[in-house]
Amino acid sequence: MSKFSYSVATIVSIFAIFFSGGLCLAFDESGCLTCHQYPGLVSINKDHTLTALHIDAKRYAASAHGRFQCISCHTTIEKVPHTGNRYVDCSTVCHQGKDAKRLPSDYPLSDFHKTEQSFISRLEDKTSCRVCHRLYPHQANNLVRGFLNMHIGFVTCEVCHLKKKKFNGMTYQWHDSENARFSGEPFGTFFNPASRKTKKPMNFISRIAIYATKDGKRQSLANTRDTAAASTFERKQLAMTDKEKTERLRFFHRDIEKKEISVACDQCHSTHSILDYAKLGFDPKKASQLKNLYLKGLVTKYKTFYFPQLFNN
């Protein structure tokens, strides 16, 4: 991973160059919120439990600790990906000495930022992918898994994972709103801005999906046609031989890119984005923000993604 290791100082200078207003916060001199400001940023642990990484700037500022720099407690965070990231020191400024307010030894730390965090806790996605894969499917790469998991609320799996060479006349458009449940505050795009017929319901989210044209008709490439077969596979796989399993999995992934995928961060977050943000209904300010993402260093250096070889054909 050392190839993708950046010092927080580098990130902050990138932040300083690309950041042009809005979020300039006294308590965030280290620029931690450059990355942590986003709702939906979620990391997955080895035991499949989830760690929310979002810190809402306003709620943090209003909290009991809102006037402290992040690093006054998170003293070991120096580079990205961070090392020693769970370590927290509460006694750098406060909670020290006999006279100061001391923390009881059994003080529960794990919910510390809970009221400052939002993420999707449920999404009714009827694709085959979700029969087998978890809501937050990215776990392998600790530099990008948080950001990739965040995108499950923005775009469908196929937008990033499809073997695009197999299809003609592809377009990116809003999929119908899907039922969602949020932990914390609802966020994201709750309605189809193109159709304008819906008010913003609190329990829905709309995502961008990929479509192809076949026989003059627009067709969604989100895979719902294998959903029933995927459920059958899940029920019966214990009784299957390895060879049968591999073959079935190859079938379910026949339209999915394997070893490498063609969509990296800068294929959407750059001026040559595959997504036409204006046409999709994003206002000019947001469109420009998405094209010129502050995380540029991270985004452009992380250009190609290689998957481990799992399916041989």
Q: What is the DSSP string of 83-110?
A: SSTT---TTSSSS-TTTSPPPPTT---T
CA pair distance 212, 142, nearest whole angstrom: 33
Q: Is 16 in the site for ligand HEC (CB under 6 A)?
A: no
Instruction: Name which of residues 225 to 254 contact ligand HEC (CB under 6 A).
Output: 226, 230, 233, 249, 252-253
Among 39, 56, 70, 182, indicate the residue that binds ligand HEC (CB under 6 A). 70
Question: What minimum distance in Å lies between the beta carbon of 98 and ligand HEC?
Answer: 20
Q: Which of 56, 151, 177, 184 binds ligand HEC (CB under 6 A)?
A: 151
Residues 106 to 135 in contact with ligand HEC, rule: CB under 6 A: 109-110, 112-113, 127-129, 131-133
Nearer to ligand HEC, 108 or 216 (CB): 108
If binding is defined by CB under 6 A, does position 34 make contact with ligand HEC?
Answer: yes
CB neighbours (10 Å) of residue 86? 10
Give the integer Cα–Cα distance in Å for 110 and 93.
20
| Contact with ligand HEC (CB under 6 A) among 139, 183, 262, 300 | 139
Residue 299 contacts ligand HEC per CB under 6 A:
yes
Task: Decide if residue 209 touches ligand HEC (CB under 6 A).
Answer: no
Q: In whole angstroms, what is the distance from residue 152 CA to residue 162 CA?
A: 15
Nearest one of 58, 21, 14, 17 to 35, comparing CA atoms: 14
Residue with tokens 């299809």: 167
Of residues 77 through 96, those in contact with ligand HEC by CB under 6 A are 77, 80-82, 85-86, 88, 90
CB atoms under 10 Å from CB of 301, counted, come to: 13
Q: Is 51 in the site for ligand HEC (CB under 6 A)?
A: yes
- Separation CA 101–CA 2 (nearest Å): 40
- Going residue by residue from 174 to 193, which x/- string records binding to ligand HEC, judged by CB under 6 A? --------------xx----
Strand ranges in 87-207 using DSSP code E only, listed in sequence order: 119-123, 171-174, 178-183, 204-205
Q: Which stretch binds ligand HEC (CB under 6 A): 16-24, 71-79, 163-171, 177-185?
A: 71-79
155 binds ligand HEC (CB under 6 A): yes
